[in-house]
A = this chain, B = another copy of it.
Amino acid sequence: MENQQNKALKERPAPSQVSRAGVLGTGTIGGAWALHFLRMGMDVVAYDPGPNAKQNLLAMVEAIWPTMKELGLREGASPRRLSFVSSLAELVENVQVIQENTPENLMAKRKLFAGLDTITPAEVVIISSTSGFVMTDMQVDCQYHPERFVVGHPFNPPYLIPFCEVVGGKQTIPAVVDWTVAFYESIEKQVAKMDKELPGFIGNRLQEALWREALHMVANNECSVEDIDKSIAYGMGLRWAIMGHCLTYHLGGGQGGMAHLLDHFAPALKEPWTRLEAPELTPELRNAMVQGCLNQTEGRSIDELVKERDDCLIRIINSLKEYKTLHGIKR
């Protein structure tokens, strides 16, 4: 392997100018990233040492390309711009950014990243799709340019779900975190940039809390799995596709919004409505929740937001009903 440490650091492309992305590991998540990059009009270079990896990836791209067309292709986008190479060295020499999607094994990632660091040009940002590990723990054995390693955690399937979490490790420099956020935003991702390495990041913490409460309820024979899913798909989930939980509650507070809701329902935080104890509702927390909601409203009134929620709910409900009728789905 050629060592990159003595090469001059080339300029990193502007985030919106990336035209050649590398995908390392081409399973469910890696394949989905390849599809998204292709849809955004890029060349994609993929590598995975697994058996049948190339055939599997090509089959996945062929199967899902019609979905990409339905979502809308950027100019020049084509599945023919995907190439599958036969070594890591070939991958790293031909791309401007790498999205890593290898199995969740900390020791394996540490070793992989140390090797990647040795052979990948220093200006190439290396983004890990990990959902379980923080970058600080993964970049420890990188000897040359640990500062260009960053976590970019997607949600399944990444070719459809826009949300990603971006967070660096102790050795990652802020410029790389910012570059990654800008890169993702330039390819239609909705990004949360995190300042702290939090186990589970944001989205998985929220859904893990819900998931564990669900497991407790089933374990105690308090309700069925089917009723849990019904409460989501025909209840809160319909609203959550439109606005997040906080903004939904902002509307639930009537004309007084989140401020009214918190002031009025603060005692409910002590109720045994979940096994998770709530934090103390300090004035600071109250104000942060209120301000965070107001920041999202862009000046729209509660009435305008209610109208938006209801209009969108009807679209979703009617669209899903039509689909289910068309396909004879009873659930």
Which among A44-52, A79-87, A308-316 touches the partner chain?
A308-316
Known contacts A67-B314, A296-B226: A206-B214 contact under CB 8 Å: yes
Cα of A284 to Cα of B284 in the assembled complex, Å: 43
How close is A246's CB to chain B, nearest CB, in angstroms? 5
Asked if A9 is at the interface of the complex by the 8 Å CB criterion, the answer is no
0/1 string, A178-214, CB within 8 A of B gives 1 = 0000000000001111101011101111111111111
A320 touches B313 (CB 8 A): no
A285 touches B218 (CB 8 A): yes
A258-289 interface with B by 8 A CB criterion: 268-269, 271-282, 284-285, 288-289
Asked if A106 is at the interface of the complex by the 8 Å CB criterion, the answer is no
Cα of A293 to Cα of B331 in the assembled complex, Å: 12
Asked if A65 is at the interface of the complex by the 8 Å CB criterion, the answer is no
Which among A91-99, A115-123, A137-145, A161-169 touches the partner chain?
A161-169
> How many residues on chain A are close to B (CB under 8 Å)?
113
B317 touches A234 (CB 8 A): no
Known contacts A206-B236, A245-B210, A276-B213: A311-B323 contact under CB 8 Å: yes
0/1 string, A228-240, CB within 8 A of B gives 1 = 1111111111111
Asked if A58 is at the interface of the complex by the 8 Å CB criterion, the answer is no
Cα of A234 to Cα of B237 in the assembled complex, Å: 12
Q: Residue A279 contacts which of B215, B230, B268, B317 (CB distance < 8 angstroms)?
A: B215
B160 touches A231 (CB 8 A): no
Cα of A284 to Cα of B221 in the assembled complex, Å: 11
A192 touches B222 (CB 8 A): no
How close is A67's CB to chain B, nearest CB, in angstroms? 6
Asked if A256 is at the interface of the complex by the 8 Å CB criterion, the answer is no
A214 touches B278 (CB 8 A): no
B292 touches A308 (CB 8 A): no
A111-169 interface with B by 8 A CB criterion: 132, 155-157, 160-163, 165
A233 touches B243 (CB 8 A): yes
8 residue pairs, one from A and one from B, having the closest CB atoms: A225-B292, A229-B244, A237-B240, A200-B273, A163-B235, A192-B227, A203-B231, A209-B213
Give residues in A with beta carbon < 8 Å to B: 28, 64, 67, 70-71, 132, 155-157, 160-163, 165, 190-194, 196, 198-200, 202-247, 249, 252, 254, 268-269, 271-282, 284-285, 288-289, 291-293, 295-296, 298, 308, 310-320, 323, 327, 329-331
- With A155-B235, A205-B274, A215-B281 given, name 20 new contacts (CB 8 A): A67-B310, A132-B271, A160-B310, A160-B317, A161-B234, A190-B234, A193-B227, A194-B222, A198-B222, A199-B273, A212-B269, A212-B279, A216-B279, A225-B291, A226-B292, A228-B292, A233-B244, A237-B239, A238-B241, A275-B276
